[in-house]
Structure 1
Amino acid sequence: MSSVLRLLTILSLSLVSGLASPGPNPSGCPTLSATDHQARQSLMHYVCFYRAAPGDPAHQADGPQALPTDLQWRHAAGHDLVFSHTKSVYWISLTVQNPGKHQGLWYLKLNYPLLDDVTFWQTGADSDRRLVTGDQRPFASRAIDYRYFLLPVTLDGGESQTITLRVQSSGALNIPLTLETPDEVIAQSNHLSLTHGLFYGALLVFAIFNLLLFISSGTASYFFNAFYMASMGMFMFAMGGFANQYFWPDNAPVANAAIPLSLVLCALSMTLFGRDFLEIERRTTSARVVQVMAWVCVGFLALTLALPYSTTILLNTVLGLAVIASLFMIAVARWRQGYQPAMWYILAWLVMLVGGLIYALAAFGYLADFLVREALMQIAVGGQVVLLNYALVQRWRLLNEKLLSVEHSARTELEFKVHERTAQLRNTMRELEKANRQLAALSLNDALTGLYNRRHMDNILPELCAEARRTGQPLTLALIDADHFKAVNDTWGHGFGDTFLQLIAEILTRHVKRPRDVAIRFGGEEFALLLPGTDAEGARQVCTAILEEVGGTALTSPDGTAARITLSAGLASLAPGEDRASLFERADEALYRAKTEGRNRLRLARPVPVNTP
Structure 2
Amino acid sequence: MSPVLRMFIVLSLVLFPALATPDPGSLRIGCQTLDATDSGARHSLMQYVCFYSAPPGEPAYDASEPGQLPEDLAWTPAHGRDLVFSATRSVYWVHLHIRNSGAHRSLWYLKLDYPLLDEITFWQTGHDTTESLVTGDQHPFSSRGIDYRYFLLPVTLDAGETHSITLRVHSSGALNVPLSLETPAEIIAGSNHLTLAHGLFYGALLVFAVFNLLLFFSSGTVYYFYNAFYMAALGLFLFAMGGFANQYFWSNSTDLANTSIPLSLSLCALAMTLFGRSFLDVSPGTTSETALKTQAWLCVGFLALTFVLPYSKTILLNTVLTLAVISSLFIIAAIRWKQGYQPALWYLLAWLVMLIGGLIYALAAFGYLTDFLAREALMQIAVGGQVILLNYAMVQRWRLLNEKLLAVEHNARTELEFKVHERTAQLRSTMRELEKANRKLSTLSLNDALTGLHNRRHLDTIFPELCAEARRTGHTLSLALVDADHFKRINDTWGHSFGDTCLQFIAEMLSRHVKRPRDIAIRFGGEEFALLLPGTDASGARNVCNALLADIANTPLTAPDGTEVRITLSAGIASLAAGENQDQLFERADEALYAAKTEGRNCALLSQATEA
Task: Note whether the superposition's TM-score is higher than 0.5.
Answer: yes
Which residue is 1:433 aligned to? 429
Aligned counterparts, 1:348-363, within 5 A? 348-363=350-365
User: Does residue 281 of the first structure (1) align with residue 274 of the second (2)?
Assistant: no
- Residues in 2 aligned to 1:292 and 1:370: alpha-carbon distance in whole angstroms: 33
User: Is this contact kept in 1: 2:29–2:77, CA < 8 A?
Assistant: no
1:209 maps to a residue whose letter is F
Q: CA deviation at 1:256?
A: 1.3
Which residue is 2:251 aligned to? 249
SS at match of 1:29: coil
Which residue is 1:141 aligned to? 143
Aligned counterparts, 1:517-532, within 5 A? none
Match of 1:71 among 67, 70, 73: 73
CA deviations on 1:213-255 (whole Å, 9 max, x unpaired) are: 1111111111111000000000000000000000111111112
Q: CA deviation at 1:457?
A: 13
Q: CA deviation at 1:126?
A: 3.6
Match of 1:291 among 282, 293, 300: 293
- Residues in 2 aligned to 1:246 and 1:207: alpha-carbon distance in whole angstroms: 20
CA deviations on 1:522-574 (whole Å, 9 max, x unpaired) are: xxxxxxxxxxxxxxxxxxxxxxxxxxxxxxxxxxxxxxxxxxxxxxxxxxxxx
User: Does residue 373 of the first structure (1) align with residue 379 of the second (2)?
Assistant: no
Which residue is 2:418 aligned to? 416
- Residues in 2 aligned to 1:215 and 1:326: alpha-carbon distance in whole angstroms: 29
1:59 maps to a residue whose letter is Y
Aligned counterparts, 1:484-523, within 5 A? none
Q: CA deviation at 1:441?
A: 12
Which residue is 1:60 aligned to? 62
SS at match of 2:423: helix
Aligned pair count reads: 444
Aligned counterparts, 1:145-224, within 5 A? 145-224=147-226
- Residues in 1 aligned to 2:264 and 2:66: alpha-carbon distance in whole angstroms: 38
SS at match of 2:167: strand
- Residues in 2 aligned to 1:240 and 1:173: alpha-carbon distance in whole angstroms: 15
2:109 maps to a residue whose letter is Y
Q: CA deviation at 1:413?
A: 2.1
Q: CA deviation at 1:607?
A: 9.9
User: Is this contact kept in 1: 2:29–2:76, CA < 8 A?
Assistant: no
Q: CA deviation at 1:417?
A: 2.4
User: Does residue 128 of the first structure (1) align with residue 130 of the second (2)?
Assistant: yes
Q: CA deviation at 1:411?
A: 1.8
- Residues in 1 aligned to 2:72 and 2:113: alpha-carbon distance in whole angstroms: 30
Q: CA 1:327–1:126 in 2, change beyond 3 Å: closer, same or farther?
A: same
- Residues in 2 aligned to 1:327 and 1:343: alpha-carbon distance in whole angstroms: 12
User: Does residue 393 of the first structure (1) align with residue 389 of the second (2)?
Assistant: no
- Residues in 1 aligned to 2:183 and 2:217: alpha-carbon distance in whole angstroms: 50
User: Is this contact kept in 1: 2:63–2:69, CA < 8 A?
Assistant: yes
Which residue is 2:92 aligned to? 90
SS at match of 1:343: helix
2:87 maps to a residue whose letter is H
SS at match of 1:204: helix
SS at match of 2:131: strand
Aligned counterparts, 1:253-332, within 5 A? 253-332=255-334
User: Is this contact kept in 1: 2:141–2:246, CA < 8 A?
Assistant: yes
Match of 2:238 among 223, 229, 236: 236
CA deviations on 1:392-434 (whole Å, 9 max, x unpaired) are: 0111111111111111222222222223333x25xxxxx6336
Q: CA deviation at 1:319?
A: 0.4
Which residue is 2:45 aligned to? 43
SS at match of 2:323: helix
SS at match of 1:185: helix
- Residues in 1 aligned to 2:29 and 2:97: alpha-carbon distance in whole angstroms: 11
SS at match of 1:131: strand
Match of 1:110 among 106, 109, 112: 112
- Residues in 1 aligned to 2:180 and 2:423: alpha-carbon distance in whole angstroms: 86
- Residues in 2 aligned to 1:77 and 1:197: alpha-carbon distance in whole angstroms: 35
Question: Which structure 1 segments of 5+ residues have no match?
Answer: 1-25, 426-430, 445-453, 478-576, 587-605
Question: Which structure 2 segments of 5+ residues have no match?
Answer: 1-27, 447-455, 469-523, 525-529, 535-578, 589-606, 608-612
- Residues in 2 aligned to 1:66 and 1:176: alpha-carbon distance in whole angstroms: 25
- Residues in 1 aligned to 2:117 and 2:429: alpha-carbon distance in whole angstroms: 90
Q: CA deviation at 1:435?
A: 6.0
- Residues in 2 aligned to 1:269 and 1:418: alpha-carbon distance in whole angstroms: 50
Q: CA deviation at 1:346?
A: 0.3
Q: CA deviation at 1:443?
A: 9.1
Q: CA 1:607–1:369 in 2, change beyond 3 Å: closer, same or farther?
A: farther
User: Is this contact kept in 1: 2:123–2:165, CA < 8 A?
Assistant: yes
Q: CA deviation at 1:459?
A: 8.2
1:239 maps to a residue whose letter is M
Q: CA 1:169–1:458 in 2, change beyond 3 Å: closer, same or farther?
A: farther
TM-score relative to the length of structure 1: 0.68
Q: CA deviation at 1:305?
A: 1.0
- Residues in 2 aligned to 1:127 and 1:115: alpha-carbon distance in whole angstroms: 27
Q: CA 1:457–1:326 in 2, change beyond 3 Å: closer, same or farther?
A: farther
Q: CA 1:328–1:457 in 2, change beyond 3 Å: closer, same or farther?
A: farther
Q: CA 1:357–1:456 in 2, change beyond 3 Å: closer, same or farther?
A: same
CA deviations on 1:241-282 (whole Å, 9 max, x unpaired) are: 000000111111112111111100000000000001000000
- Residues in 2 aligned to 1:118 and 1:127: alpha-carbon distance in whole angstroms: 20
Which residue is 1:383 aligned to? 385
SS at match of 2:378: helix
Aligned counterparts, 1:547-566, within 5 A? none
- Residues in 2 aligned to 1:98 and 1:214: alpha-carbon distance in whole angstroms: 61
2:323 maps to a residue whose letter is L
CA deviations on 1:551-604 (whole Å, 9 max, x unpaired) are: xxxxxxxxxxxxxxxxxxxxxxxxxx9xxxx9xx99xxxxxxxxxxxxxxxxxx
Q: CA deviation at 1:105?
A: 0.3
1:248 maps to a residue whose letter is W
2:389 maps to a residue whose letter is L
Which residue is 2:33 aligned to? 31
- Residues in 2 aligned to 1:150 and 1:224: alpha-carbon distance in whole angstroms: 39
User: Is this contact kept in 1: 2:124–2:166, CA < 8 A?
Assistant: yes
CA deviations on 1:275-311 (whole Å, 9 max, x unpaired) are: 0100000000000000000000111111111111111
Identity %: 67
Q: CA deviation at 1:436?
A: 4.5
Q: CA deviation at 1:442?
A: 11
1:123 maps to a residue whose letter is T
Q: CA 1:259–1:434 in 2, change beyond 3 Å: closer, same or farther?
A: closer
- Residues in 2 aligned to 1:455 and 1:59: alpha-carbon distance in whole angstroms: 90
TM-score relative to the length of structure 2: 0.68
User: Is this contact kept in 1: 2:86–2:368, CA < 8 A?
Assistant: yes
Q: CA deviation at 1:43?
A: 0.5
Q: CA deviation at 1:608?
A: 7.2
CA deviations on 1:131-158 (whole Å, 9 max, x unpaired) are: 0000110000002100000000000000
Q: CA deviation at 1:456?
A: 12
- Residues in 2 aligned to 1:332 and 1:442: alpha-carbon distance in whole angstroms: 52
Q: CA deviation at 1:180?
A: 0.3
User: Is this contact kept in 1: 2:210–2:228, CA < 8 A?
Assistant: yes
SS at match of 1:380: helix
